[in-house]
């Protein structure tokens, strides 16, 4: 079904903001266009958000995935977003959902950020940050921060168009489950780990 009115205008504005963000910091933005609605739907399904009380999104960009996550979350849940780009963070603040806690900073600081918001260990961490363009030590630090923060039984879902996170994650998180979403530009792989 084609989007009309406000939804279409919001998606167009998001696309322009996303492209500007890519031009500012191509190493921090994984694509030149925002996620498709098919990708957003897959994020929700793979993450299993229905029972989550605390959700973290790493690298939310202009908020398309953030809105999809909020739509799928319980009314009493909280969503902490961690974004390096302050301009993207200000876009997220305009969403206006009381469950949303937008934070500007590094995903490697996840344990400290959770404490600063007095949040419990997350049930789900969702990541769109491009592991393929970051230094390996930074990527490892992010993965270790996620591992150390998740509640037992918690899930980490990373969607990427390259396979770096799968290779980097194996020694830290174990073997992931992998799925592919073709209805996105570019097609995305989903890597999912569960904390034992």
pTM of the model: 0.82
Q: Give the Cα-Cα-Cα angle 95, 55, 70 (nearest 5 degrees).
A: 35
Give me the pLDDT at residue 25, please: 47
CA 62/CA 23 separation, integer angstroms: 14
Q: What is the pLDDT of residue 35?
A: 66
pLDDT, tens only, 147-187? 999 999 999 999 998 999 999 999 999 999 999 999 888 88
The residue that leads in pLDDT, 140 or 3, is: 140
- pLDDT of 55 > 90? The answer is yes
pLDDT at 93 over 80: yes
**Residues 101-131 pLDDT 10s:** 999 999 999 999 999 999 999 999 999 999 9
Structure tokens at 57: 């999104």
Mean pLDDT (whole number) for 47-63: 95
Q: Which CATH architecture has domain 35-194?
A: 3-Layer(aba) Sandwich (3.40)
Question: What pLDDT sits at residue 20?
Answer: 47
Cα-Cα-Cα-Cα torsion 183, 159, 37, 15, nearest 10 degrees, comes to -100
CA-to-CA distance for 29 and 113, rounded, in angstroms?
21
Query: pLDDT tens, 7-42?
Result: 444 544 544 444 444 444 444 444 445 568 888 999
In angstroms, the CA 32 to CA 26 distance is 8
pLDDT at 50: 92
- Averaged pLDDT for residues 126-150: 96
| Measured CA distances, 191 to 17, 100, 150, 166 (Å) | 27, 24, 16, 7
pLDDT at 68: 95
Domain ranges of the chain: 35-194
């Amino acid at each position: 079904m084609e989007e009309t009115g406000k939804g279409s205008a919001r998606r167009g504005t998001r696309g322009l903001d996303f492209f500007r963000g890519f031009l500012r910091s191509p190493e921090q933005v994984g694509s030149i266009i925002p996620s498709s609605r098919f990708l957003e739907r897959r994020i929700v399904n793979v993450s299993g958000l229905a029972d989550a009380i605390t959700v973290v999104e790493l690298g939310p960009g202009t908020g398309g995935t953030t809105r999809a996550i909020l739509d799928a979350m319980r009314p009493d849940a909280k969503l902490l977003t961690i974004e390096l780009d302050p301009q993207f963070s200000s876009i997220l603040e305009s969403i206006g959902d009381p469950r949303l806690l937008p934070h500007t900073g590094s995903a490697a600081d996840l344990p400290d950020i959770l404490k600063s918001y007095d949040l419990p260990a997350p049930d789900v961490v969702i990541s769109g940050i491009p592991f393929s363009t970051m230094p390996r030590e930074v990527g490892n630090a992010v993965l270790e921060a996620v591992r150390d923060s998740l509640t037992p039984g918690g899930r980490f879902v990373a969607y990427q168009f390259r396979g770096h996170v799968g290779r980097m994650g194996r020694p830290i998180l174990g073997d992931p489950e992998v799925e592919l979403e073709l209805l996105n530009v570019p097609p995305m792989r989903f890597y999912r780990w569960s904390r034992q």
